[in-house]
Structure 1
Amino acid sequence: MDSADGFGPAMLADVEPRFIPEGASGMTVLVEWPPSDPGTPPHRHTGPCFGCVIEGELRWELEGEPERVIQAGETFWEPGGGVIRYQNGNALSDAPAKYIEFMMCAPGQPMLTMVDAEEFEKRAHL
């Protein structure tokens, strides 16, 4: 929903999460990766995540989807739960990448869980 004069809110993403954990809390983080940083190793979140790249380019890959590059000004989301995030690193070798991410976190559970090598191997077909 862009305003006619170019000021005011602009819709960047409109998604319908599959679920939001009961009693979830929200967390907003600013993530910054230096040039060529691979980002966080494969992991999952307990609830859906929404974000926007504000600087640089982000290499992004979710389980069951092809790898893609998200540029500054573009958004991303993931459903959370059992879906593995394989990549979220800097796609550029000569500039930093920065993004803001809002996560819905299930109560009493860590916001992020790393995927161990055994599980990674079992789910490689996905």
Structure 2
Amino acid sequence: MSTDHGHHLENPDKSGPPPKIEVIGSVADAPPPPEGAEAMTILVTLPPKSPGAPPHRHSGPAYGYVIKGAINFELEGDPVRVVRAGETFWEPGGDVIHYQDGNHLADEESAFVVTMFCAPGQPMLTVVEPEELEARRDRRAPRS
């Protein structure tokens, strides 16, 4: 994080302690949302062993926070990583394929909250067809 995002709020009425503000994730040089974007925040709950959504993309950037459990997260060109409760993730949207967002746990639910900035008139999520996945196979990070 290159910018100091620390915050301290005075409490003028002194009826209780001031709120604690803690930065839990930050994205330097984040892509701007599409012009006229609709921002939406959704809660995704994944049952044990759920693979999540099929490979897809978003029309704008998305920023998320895992609130429970752990998820497998994979964007085109990056290796799969596990994002655990209390950790954040983001994706730039646009042409980048989001390969995985499934539950990492076989015996517990996992859940995350994500805010997406969708281009006007576009769906929140567009599934990538198998033919395109095959054509872009060389862009996917090696899998172990």
TM-score of the superposition, structure 1-length normalised? 0.94
Matches within 5 A, 1:26-105: 26-105=39-118
User: In the alignment, is residue 11 of structure 1 matched against residue 23 of structure 2?
Assistant: yes
Query: AA paired with 1:12?
Result: I
Aligned to 2:119: 106
SS of 1:51 mapped into structure 2: strand
Deviations 1:37-60 (A, max 9, x none): 000000000000000000000000
The alignment partner of 2:131 has SS state of: helix
Would the alpha carbon gap of residues 12 and 6 (structure 1) be closer, same or farther in structure 2, given more than 3 Å must change?
A: farther
Matched, 1:115 2:128: yes
**Greater RCO (Cα-Cα under 8 Å, separation 6 or more):** 1
How far does residue 6 in structure 1 lie from its aligned partner after superposition?
A: 9.8
Aligned length: 125
Distance across 2 between alignment mates of 1:59 and 1:69: 5
Q: Percent identity?
A: 51
Using the TM superposition, give the Cα deviation of residue 18 of structure 1 relative to its aligned residue in structure 2, in angstroms. 2.2
Kindly state the Cα deviation for residue 12 of structure 1 after the two structures are TM-superposed.
Answer: 1.1
Aligned-residue CA RMSD in angstroms?
A: 1.5
Pick aligned residue for 1:22 from 35, 45, 48: 35
Shift of 1:7: 4.7
Q: Which structure is larger by alpha-carbon Rg, 1 or 2?
A: 2
Q: Which amino acid counterpart does residue 44 of structure 2 have in structure 1?
A: V
How far apart, CA to CA, are the structure 2 residues paired with 1:36 and 1:7? 37
Q: Letter of the aligned partner of 2:80 in structure 1? A: E
Relative to the length of structure 2, the TM-score reads 0.83
Name the SS of the counterpart of 1:20 in structure 2. coil
